[in-house]
Structure formats: structure tokens, C-alpha cells
Amino acid sequence: MTDRVFLLADCNNFYVSCERVFNPDLENRPVAVLSNNDGCIVARSNEVKALGIPMGAPVFKYKSLLEKHGVVILSSNYELYGDMSGRVMEVLSSFTDNIEYYSIDEAFLDITDLNISDYSTLAREMRDRIRLWTGIPVSIGVAVTKTLAKAANELAKKTTEFGGVLSLINLGDAALDVLMDRVDVSDVWGIGRQYTKLLRNYGINTALDFKTAPSAFVKQHMTVAGQRTQMELRGVSCISLETEFKMKKGIISSRSFGRAITELSDLEEAVSSYVTTACQKLRSEGAVAKKVCVYIRTNNFRRNDSQYNAFASKELLGYSSHTSDFIGPALSVLRKVYRKGYRYYKAGVYISKIRACTGFVPLSLFEPSGSKKSVVSSIVDKINDRYRADTVFFASCGISRDWTGKSERKSQKFTTSWDDLLSVY
């Protein structure tokens, strides 16, 4: 049986790279992108990583260090990042249809059937084309298993000697082991924090250590997934390419508020907005759901404030993807858990019991067949996609929405809004 050949393309510091495409002044400067509400750092340029600032670091905690080194701080611009991701994936799909969109900035490709022998040259061509057509730098790893391709990608990204590309194809066992000894066990795909801690306690610190560990040890201390990872490091492909879309088990929509909320009316607006977003995602995936959960919480970091966290859920009478079917139950749940006298910091909506949409299903015996809800939802989605989000929205979402999260340093929507196109002088 011929070995499969997997390629992993991973965008470098993706959010930062997207910002640099449209603002070249940011090149070679320390740049950090913040989370919703400008609270934590979710993307770092290499210059920021060199300062020792970790992923997820609260901005207030590192404020003096950020200012000292002149770090450019930007609010997240997810509309821009999503569009740029689509462009990168489109370039990748020009090489093969056997592609798994693993995340917003990563994709696995099965390139076995391309009938080539020089995979390094192909990877460099792919890398150059993505940079030329989109402006986004990527690192590429090639190997006979997905886990090895991930490891190769880690080395290509973190080690300048490889120039952003590393193929492990046709390497001898000794040469491969030398490279695997340079991959920290925490960077092995499928090994999380808890397993990393466990493995280090037994002197297993690198990918090579894990690869050569006794199979009985891995079987005893780890799940079947751990055994699968070890086999993959040994060159046995156990994880196939997932090219078919997988239905999500749940969809969550939440955000921290820009200010503390005390009034129920503000929470109702927020929850209605989050329901709207979740239902849009549901429809975009061709799915329907039956259950909605709402949670609210105060800020646990404000020790002087009274603390309160609560959640509750409600099931619809039937499956639906229409926003109007979910807003009522969600607000009913919110009113049930809301308590006066607290300063609320965050709320969220979680939609679950999801399945594929197979046609119109009335929520009750009295709802007419051929409901107009599908037509209305489709029209609203098209309008909001064509112009901007919330061009058409439910009144319960509110008008002013002064509770929305902070986004004071957000860049323009360079690729999705006519009003934000770059000006050339």
C-alpha cells in the first residue's frame, strides 16, 4: 500500500499578518491583536513573542512592557480575518480538491495523487503563490501522516534554516529522529497540557521521546487517541483527511460588555443580538436546532462587587433555524435567571440539539405548512451579507446598543466594505 502524503499549510501569526497586508508600516514592528472587548492578547507578532508576552495575556497586566517597547495594539477585526482566510483557502484549493479546512488559518491537503516527487518544490511554490496573491505568509510541513506534517510545520515556522517549508518525505529514519528530537512534546498534535505534564514526569520531553516510548506505557496512561498519535509519529497513518463538513454539536455566541450592565432591558438587547448571530451561523451550515441556553455572569476579577453567575435552558417545540423562534424562549430564560442589584459583565447564548435541515418542520400543529419564515430569514441574510451585518435586525436587539464591547483600535473592513477601501494618492 502506497503511503499517503499530507501537507499542512499554516498562516503565520494570522491576525497580525492580515493587519500588515493593509498597513505595511506594521512590518518588523511589534504588533498585538486583542480579544473581544479589548481585554486579552489573542495574536502576537514574532517581535511581541520575543518579549515573553504569552498568548491570552491581559493587556492591563503587561501595559508597562507594551508601552516600553512601542507595541502596536489593535482590536480584533474578525470580518477582515474571515475574508482573508477564504482567500488563502481558495489558493490552496487551486492545487487539489483533497483539502480539509482545519481552522481559520490552517488546512491539511492530501497531495498523494499529484504524482510528483519533489514535495519541497511544490510547497515553496504554494507558499510563494499564497504570499503573492494574498500577502499572507505561511509555513508548510509535508509528511506521510497528519501528525508528522504538523511537527514538520512547527519546525518550519520556528526555525529560520528551513525557510518556512519542511518536507519529511524520503528522509531516513536517523535524519527524521534528529528532527523529531527538536520538537517539544507540548508541540505534538494531540498532546495537551495535562498529558504534557504527565509525560514530562516520566522524562518524555520531545516528539522523539514519545515516539520511542514503550507502546504499553502509552496504552496504560493515555487514551486510544494517545496510541494513535504515537503510531502517526512512527509513520503509520491513522488520521484520515476530513473533507466532508461535520455538523457542530452546538453554537455559542457571547461577548463581554463594554461597561457593566445592571438593567434587564440591556441584557435583553444583548441576548437578542447573540441569538441573532447564533441563528445566522446555524442557517449558514444548513442546520436546525431545538434547544437554547442563556448564561449571565458578573466580573469575578472585581472583588468588591457582589458576584452572581447563572444559566438556564429551554427547548423549542420543534427544530428550527429562524431567529424569531429562538428570541422568545431565550428572553424567557433570561428573565428567569436575572437578578437585580448585580453588575453584569458578560452574557452568552448556546444553541444545541443540532441536526441537518431536511425541510420545513412546523413548531406546532397550528403553524401553516410552507411557512414564510424561511423566505424572510433568507432575504434578511442576503441583505446583511450584501451590505453589512445588522442592516436588518430584530427590534429586540436595540438601537443604540451602548453595552457593546470595546473595539477602540479596530482597523477598517478593507475587503468587505466599499466605504473602507484603501485610498491611493
Q: Domain 250-397 is in which class?
A: alpha beta
Tell me the three cell numbers of residue 127: 507558499
The helix/strand/coil state of 377 is helix
For the purposes of burial, counting CB atoms within 10 Å of the CB of 100, is it exposed (0-12), middle (13-18) or buried (19 or more)?
middle
Burial of 241 (0-12, 13-18, 19+ CB in 10 A): middle
User: In terms of Cα–Cα distance, which of 85, 136, 73, 161 is closest to 407?
Assistant: 73
Q: What is the CA radius of gyration of the chain?
A: 24
CB half-sphere exposure, 314, CA atoms < 13 A: 18
Query: Is the pLDDT at 37 greater than 60, yes or no?
Result: yes
What is the CATH architecture assignment of 174-244?
Orthogonal Bundle (1.10)
Q: How confident is the model at residue 361 (pLDDT cuts 50, 70, 90)?
A: low
3-class DSSP assignment, residue 14: helix
What pLDDT shows up at residue 370? 46
Q: Which residue has the cell 514592528?
A: 29
Comma-separated ranges of CATH 3.30.1490.100 domains in the chain? 250-397
Distance between CA 313 and CA 10 in Å, rounded? 38
Model confidence over 183-232: pLDDT tens digits?
Answer: 999 999 999 999 999 999 999 999 999 999 999 999 999 989 999 999 99
Where do the CATH 3.30.70.270 domains begin and end in the chain? 1-170
Helix residue spans in 159-310 (DSSP H): 173-180, 193-201, 207-212, 215-221, 224-233, 264-284
Task: Please give the grid coordinates belonging to residue 231.
Answer: 503510531
Q: Output the CA–CA distances (angstroms, integers) from residue 424 to 22, 68, 83, 421, in the order listed.
A: 12, 33, 21, 9
| pLDDT exceeds cutoff 80 at 286 | yes
Grid cell locating 390: 445588522
Q: What DSSP designation does 405 have?
A: P
Average of per-residue pLDDT across 220-247: 89
Question: Burial code of 122-133, b = ≥16 C-beta within 10 A, e = fewer?
Answer: bbbebbeebeee
Contact (CB, 8 A) for 298 and 344: yes
pLDDT at position 200 is 97
* Protein fold of 1-170: Alpha-Beta Plaits (3.30.70)
Q: Measured between alpha carbons, how far is 172 from 48 in angstroms, rounded to an integer? A: 37
Q: Give the pTM.
A: 0.75
Pairing of strands 72-74, 99-103: unpaired
Classify each residue of 40-71 as buried b or exposed e, where b means 16 or more C-beta atoms within 10 Å of its C-beta. Answer: bbebbbebbeebebeeebebeebeeebeeeeb
As a whole number of angstroms, the distance between CA 239 and CA 141 comes to: 16
Q: What is the pLDDT of residues 102-153, one digit of tens each?
A: 999 999 999 999 988 899 999 999 999 999 999 999 999 999 999 999 999 9
Q: What span, in angstroms and rounded, lies between the C-alpha atoms of 409 and 363?
A: 44
pLDDT of residue 36: 78
DSSP alpha helices (H): ranges in 135-188? 146-158, 173-180
Which of 67, 60, 141, 75 has the alpha carbon at shortest distance from 108?
141
The answer to whether the CB of 10 falls within 8 A of the CB of 153 is: yes
